[in-house]
Amino acid sequence: MTIPDSGCMMENGSIEFPSSYVPTPDEESRIIKDLLKKAESNLREGNTYYILSLRWYSSWQKYTGQPVGFFPFDERPAEDESSTVAERPGPIDNSDIVSDQSDVDGPHLLRTVEEGRDYVLLPEEAWEKLHTWYKGGPVIARKMITVGDNKQFSVEVFPLCLNLIDSRDKSEHVVRLSKKASLRELYEVVCRLKGLEPEKARIVDYFNKQKHKVLVASDGTLEDSDLQMDQDILLEVQNDGFWPSGFGTDSTGNGMALVPVEPARSSVTIAGGPTLSNGDSSGFSSNIYQGISLSSSYGDMEDGYENTRHATKQERGGLAGLQNLGNTCFMNSALQCLVHTPAIVDYFLEDYTDEINRVNPLGMHGELAIAFGDLLRKLWSSGRAPVAPRVFKAKLARFAPQFSGYNQHDSQELLAFLLDGLHEDLNRVKQKPYFETKDYDGRPDEEVADEFWRYHKARNDSIIVDVCQGQYKSTLVCPSCSKISITFDPFMYLSLPLPSTAMRVMTVTVFYGDGSGLPMPFTVNVLKHGCCKDLIQALGTVCCLRTDEYLLLAEVYEHRIYRYFENPSEQLAAIKDGEHIVAYRLPKRSSDLTRLEITHRCQEKSTLLDNTMPGERKHFLTPLVTFLEDPVSPLDIDQAVNRVLAPLVREGFSSANGKDPTKCNSTKLGQGTMSTGNSESETDLELEPEPELEPEPEPEPMSGVELSFRLFLTDDRGYSSRPIVKDTPLRFGRFVKVYLDWTEREYELYNVDYLKDLPEVHKTGLTVKKPKQETISLFSCLDAFLKEEPLGPDDMWYCPRCKEHRQATKKLDLWRLPDVLVFHLKRFSYSRWLKNKIDTFVNFPVRNLDLSNYVKCKDTNEGSHVYELYAISNHYGGLGGGHYSAYCKLIDDDRWYHFDDSHVSPVSEDDIRTSAAYVLFYRRVRNNQTNGTIGESSQHGGYRSS
């Protein structure tokens, strides 16, 4: 990149330009990248970040040639790829991510937006650069804070919004503060707003319109006070030395003065003593607290003391809902499934004090287990009042910052964290012994499996291991030396892929890279959830692809190649029905050849007709891709262009004119520099010497040339181009892009109809019926999970015999099953280009799921391999706007209920199998508990439904 002499170097290495200078796209890209790297290496609490609409940012990425979807602080290296040459974006426009409301704090960000989907975060200096170049707005600034015990950096996109209610006149006002702000700062803001003296005001936690505790002006943070987004806080004002009643009275009947209301803290914090929601074992007397205890008709035990008795089966409820605290349906769904797991219920309703492990460095000092136990006991106490899990959510955010905030998250990811966290908090092993695992070395599977399980249990022993952990056999085979490695690993749940049988119709136009035939569209059927490899194989069959050829897939957008699909494992879901996809037939000897991409341009039609001076050139027709073999001069490019256009020669041209356009002709040439994009080299072809870039000149006509193409070398982004110069020495790389400028003469010689109007991938007719919903069985998912397959390129295995990383084949087998078997159906897929949800209906048994044929261990002492369903975590809708709920069975009543946040209702067993099923919970059926006929195994292709 050439930097103007007028620029000056800054301390950080970036370039500062005069205010009147407009930087090139490459310069803008480099400056912003440098500032992002600088900010990443200087993360500090309090740094300012700015929220920028992804829609606008993506247009800027296209303009500067960056891969769209490559966000700040993304760990992946930017990949060079062909992209659309975009116009310079207009002013920064954040209007799509803000609401119509605004106040002194600035514009209100829409609550539904998500990072990476709707917006990106830019550090202050990067934002200032973009704002200097483009202006616009509105400006949305946020601060970086630290979250969790590990002080993880996070930008607080959504400050805490509290609804302040004045007890004197019931007026309401929204107060916005960082959750890291102190209660003293809250008092300052409220008193300034209301014109009060701090000593005459007190603020009460008024969650669910119930008084819970007085918030004392202190250095304690709003986060530590368990305040939730959009909750109420109550302002009370002292009048004549007296406070409003509501927090108990003293002996004179007067309202009590300002007294902190906190949960009791005791050394005994589980069943059998007072329930303590915060898990803090530091003790102080609870007498004061008991004297001013608050009623909580909404069932919010976690905000105050409630004497939960040891519940008997007759008294157990299990029908209380969980209040949604703001996009916490994912948490509520997972929690309801866990708190309806019989073995876990029995455990946490008993006294588990002795098993709390406060010294485990991998645990949470027992606090997560205590918070979960408190919540479970409340849900299983008699009554159906919804519970607001504020303290549990606060603990979750503290120990797992990824679940903090108020965005939607994944119930399975929460479940995985919770099971692992509960295990570590309740691990009976205080000092973990060290074991060095032995190699398989041909020993019997039973011996190796027992050895692995014994080592695992010696280090991991908890109720979670007892109930939820099984063991599978993992076999790796080296493709080079056939070395076999067998390990037996524990599992907490099984993540099953959803093998699709649904087909998709796709139309792709195939072009001959050697000019041996005309382009032809082909329509093929491929798996709906397949990959590019499936599409290439189908196209290769119908177009009779030779063994020495391969197909290069590309998307054409606005007459230019927008991107290549060179990763065969990329999901076909990345290709939309309305896109235009082409495939180029090229020799397999691609590593020895130079790829040539030809983009067509023409002058405005009116300019050609009136023979005026040349005007703006525009892109048209479909780009062509061919190859150069040992190129040495610009004439090789001209030859390749003639060759690939040969099938388009109009009939009778040669005989009528005595000329053959397929013969190599000299090309009108100029002089300049060529810089092309490739993942391996920044400059693949350059003209020598390298002059300063100037506006593209028109090539001068050359004497003695009756027919020639006007070719221009360009970079991969199309920002600059130079006429090709005859006889100028060139250095060729592996990728070259040229513009082919068409004149009236080319229109006469070639029939361009074959390069016009590419068909869409799929054009849906108005009368097409909606396809029937796809159905697969749970056994099909399990078969796909257990099938042998090669490891991915990013997951290579180090072979101890070869001493190198190899793409080994991997085979999983179930060895021993736990009492509680959890299946996670992998409905969500993620790629660089999109996120997708699979709504396939999975037909799973409710009763008598027989897995005997899948278990390789034949130890009869393990128990039954027959399971029954007792809970389901459901996900409805798509990504970003979905909702979670749960179906849970009360085992003692043999009845199913739908837990939808606070709302709980009975549901028929016939209605619980839906395409929303996401996580399935099964429990082992003992031999004497089998209800009805044992289900059919997978060898019969299914099972008997209940």
Please identify which residue in the block is written with the tokens 């934002």.
127
Q: How far, in Å, CA of 747 to CA of 650, rounded?
A: 10
The answer to whether the beta carbons of residues 98 and 110 sit under 8 Å apart is: yes
DSSP 785-847: HHS-EEPPTTS-EEETTTTEEE--EEEEEEEE--SEEEEEE--EEE-SS-EEE--PEEE--SS
Q: How far, in Å, CA of 83 to CA of 69, rounded?
A: 12
Which tokens in the block code for residue 679? 């993942």
Active site positions, annotated: 329, 883
In terms of Cα–Cα distance, which of 379, 458, 455, 363 is closest to 417?
363
The answer to whether the beta carbons of residues 872 and 912 sit under 8 Å apart is: yes
In terms of Cα–Cα distance, which of 164, 179, 249, 251 is closest to 221?
179
The answer to whether the beta carbons of residues 353 and 426 sit under 8 Å apart is: no
The partner residues of 375 in beta bridges, in order of sequence, read: none
Residue type, 810: K
Local structure of 116: helix, strand or coil? coil
Residues in contact with 132: Cβ distance below 8 Å, sequence separation at least 6, in sequence order: none
Between the CA of residue 934 and those of 252, 889, 937, what are the distances in Å? Answer: 72, 20, 9
Residue 360: Cβ within 10 Å count: 18
Rounded to 5 degrees, φ, ψ at 645 are -90, -10
Q: How far, in Å, CA of 512 to CA of 625, rounded?
A: 8
Cis amide leading into 689 (omega within 30): yes
Between the CA of residue 322 and those of 268, 402, 822, what are the distances in Å? Answer: 26, 21, 22
Q: How far, in Å, CA of 546 to CA of 326, rounded?
A: 58
Q: How far, in Å, CA of 215 to CA of 209, rounded?
A: 15
Instruction: For residue 42, give the DSSP letter.
Output: T
Q: How far, in Å, CA of 397 to CA of 393, rounded?
A: 6
Local structure of 565: helix, strand or coil? strand
Between the CA of residue 677 and those of 30, 69, 564, 591, what are the distances in Å? Answer: 15, 18, 13, 16
Handedness of CA 323, 329, 331, 332 (dihedral sign): positive
Query: Strand (E) positions, 558-632?
Result: 560-565, 580-587, 594-603, 617-619, 624-628
CA-based angle 202:204:207, to the nearest 5?
A: 165
Instruction: For residue 242, give the DSSP letter.
Output: B
Q: How far, in Å, CA of 303 to CA of 207, rounded?
A: 10
Residue type, 584: Y
Between the CA of residue 349 and those of 69, 346, 872, 888, what are the distances in Å? Answer: 49, 5, 22, 19
CA-based angle 877:879:883, to the nearest 5?
A: 45
Which tokens in the block code for residue 904? 């709980």
Which tokens in the block code for residue 102? 């605004």
| End-to-end CA, the chain | 69
CA-based angle 645:650:656, to the nearest 5?
A: 125
Please identify which residue in the block is written with the tokens 């991409």.
597
Local structure of 881: helix, strand or coil? coil
